Amino acid sequence: AQQLTRPSAGIEKEYLITLDRSFDHQQHGSQLTEGIVLEEGRATAVSYLHLSPRRLQVVLKQGMKRQLRRMFAEMGYRIKKLVRVRIGCLPIGDLKPGRWRTLGDDEIQLLLRNLNRPAPTEKKKENPTVSRKRREKRTKISKDNHWRRAMPRKRVGGRKK
């Protein structure tokens, strides 16, 4: 879940926005997509769609705190209603605020592909830099004496610290 919501992941988040007054897309539309300078840096929208005079659909990839509210405030608008409708490739649907649901296997696979991560069913490739003998030795130690590795070794003799 954190991999989806963190800004560095670059996952698209889509929002429906209702403004306090009509949005002038000729004057402010390019500002949304080119970026508005906030304290953390330039905040940009990937795209936007003008649904009605006061309603917009906006797609973000960044994740600054209260980003949309602050972007629109810089342009002189106030957001009356803000609803996230999609995260990555998953539509939120009729899920109520504060609620959650379990994802299906197909949805998990879709998200992993969206994040460019290998699916959990895929076998992890072995590290080619570790020799075969070393891998075999590790396996033998872990099977036979796995508890000994975890035990701290006693210091015998030597200087006092």
How far is Cα 48 from Cα 89, in angstroms, rounded to an integer?
A: 17
pLDDT at 130 over 60: no
pLDDT at 110 over 50: yes
pLDDT at 107 over 60: yes
What one-character DSSP code corresponds to residue 68?
H
Task: Tell if the pTM clears 0.85, that is, is over it.
Answer: no
What rounded mean pLDDT belongs to the chain? 78
pLDDT at 118 over 80: no
pLDDT at 123: 47
* Side-chain-facing half-sphere of 2: CA atoms under 13 Å: 0
**Percent of the chain at pLDDT above 90?**
30
Least confident residue range of 1-10, 80-89, 102-111, 144-153: 144-153
